[in-house]
Amino acid sequence: RQRWLAVVTRAPGEVLLQKRPDSGIWGGLWAPPEFEEASAAKAWITNTLSLPAERCRIEEPFHHTFTHFKLEAHSVRAQCAENHPETIGVESHADNLQWFALHPPPSVGLPAPIVRLLAKLGKENPPRSN
């Protein structure tokens, strides 16, 4: 099974996650918004955050094995500026969305592959020094 994750980060080291429905795979856990096609993930990023499609890039997939199937997840990555107006309050007009700091890692329920993805993002977006 192939899925596309809309992985959106913003300064200073935050990532946008969505709480998944209680039923189904990763039920009730937090993860980047998930789509069946890259074009849908890009469209969500451009429509929800008003970012140009050119700001989206596709990254190498990661794989995760479940009991009954293998998941191949691709990341459609986008970076927002800290003061990008559409990122402020996005959680108020989109269901179950919330910005989480990468440092320290979020202390909410996360699927194991997303924990690894966020660790990678944390290395790419080091915390600000005071």
Q: In this structure, what CATH number is given to the domain that contains residue 81?
A: 3.90.79.10
Task: Confirm whether 116 is domain-assigned.
Answer: yes
Domain total for the chain?
A: 1
pTM, rounded to two decimals: 0.85
Task: Confirm whether 129 is domain-assigned.
Answer: no
Range of the domain at 75: 2-124
Tell me, what DSSP letter sits at residue 32? S
pLDDT tens digits for range 16-53: 999 998 888 788 999 999 999 999 999 999 988 888 88
Task: Confirm whether 130 is domain-assigned.
Answer: no
Phi and psi angles of residue 17, each rounded to the nearest 5 degrees, phi first: -120, 160
Given the structure tokens 């107006």, which residue do they identify? Answer: 85
pLDDT of residue 82: 66
**Residue 111 — very low, low, confident or very high, per pLDDT cuts 50/70/90?**
very high
Task: Confirm whether 43 is domain-assigned.
Answer: yes
Task: Confirm whether 83 is domain-assigned.
Answer: yes
